Amino acid sequence: MAEKNETQSRRSAKQKMLTTLYRYIWVFALCCVVGFAVETLWCLIRHGYIESRKSLVWGPLSVAYGMGGVLLTLVCDRLVGSPLWKVFLISFAVGTAAEYICSLGQEIVFHSVAWDYSDMPLNINGRVCLLYSVFWGVLGVGWVKWILPLTNKLTEWIPLRVNHVLVWAFVAFFVVDAAVSAIAGIRMDQRKAGKPADNAIAAFFDEHFDDEKMHRIYANSKDV
C-alpha cells in the first residue's frame, strides 16, 4: 500500500512538473506569435506598409516577446495578490532587462540590431527607453489580472498527451528554426566579408538564404 501511494505521488509530481513546463513553453510560443503580430500591425499603423518583423527565418515568431512573456510569467506568478504598483515596477524592470539583453545578444551574434531607440528620450544605448519600459510595466499588470489565469485554464483544458505532442513539436521546430537562422546570419556576414562558399553547407545557404531574402526577412534590422 505504501509503495502504491509513493508511486502515485511520484507520478502526480511528474505530471505537475510537466504541466508547469508545458505552460511556460505555451507562453513563449504564444507571445512570440502575438509579438510578431503586434510589431507588424504597429509598422502598418505607423508607416503605412507591412514589413517582416520576425526573429527567425521560418514562422511568425518574435523571440524577444517570447522571452519577455516567460520572464513576466516567472516573476508575476509570485506577484498574484501583490499591489498593482509593485507588479508595475517589477514588470517595468524585468521587461526592460529582457529587451536590452535581446538587443545586445543580436548585436553580438549577428552584428545587427532590430530596433534603435536612440531618438527616443531617456534611452540606454538605443536598446531600451522609458516609453517602452512603461509599456512593459502596464503589460505586467494586465499579465497578472488576465493572462496568467488564461494560461492556467489553457494548460488544464488540453489533455496531457495532446499537450505533450504539441509542445515538443513546437520545441523541435523552434530549435531547427533557430539553428538555421543562426547559420544563415553567420553565412550572410561571411559573404559581406568576401568569403566564398567553400563547402556544401555554405553553398546551400547561399542558394536558399541569399542577401535579398535575408534582407526581406529581417527588413527592420540594421548593421552595426
- Please tell me the predicted confidence (pLDDT) of residue 179: 95
Quickly state the pLDDT bin for 6 (edges 50, 70, 90). Answer: low
C-alpha distances in Å from residue 152, one per residue of 22, 23, 29, 71, 111: 11, 7, 15, 16, 38
Q: What is the percent of the chain with per-residue pLDDT over 70, rounded to a whole number? A: 94
Per the structure, how many domains does the chain have?
1
- Please tell me the predicted confidence (pLDDT) of residue 222: 73
- Please tell me the predicted confidence (pLDDT) of residue 145: 81
- Please tell me the predicted confidence (pLDDT) of residue 126: 92
Contact 100, 74 (CB under 8 A): no
Its domain, for residue 21, covers 2-223
Residues belonging to the chain: 224
pLDDT at 168 over 80: yes
- Please tell me the predicted confidence (pLDDT) of residue 167: 93
More confidently predicted of 167 and 79 = 167
State the cell numbers at 177.
528554426
- Please tell me the predicted confidence (pLDDT) of residue 107: 85
- Please tell me the predicted confidence (pLDDT) of residue 79: 81
**Can you tell me the distance from the alpha carbon of 63 to that of 36, in angstroms, rounded to the nearest whole number?**
9
pLDDT at 200 over 60: yes
Quickly state the pLDDT bin for 5 (edges 50, 70, 90). Answer: low
Quickly state the pLDDT bin for 11 (edges 50, 70, 90). Answer: low
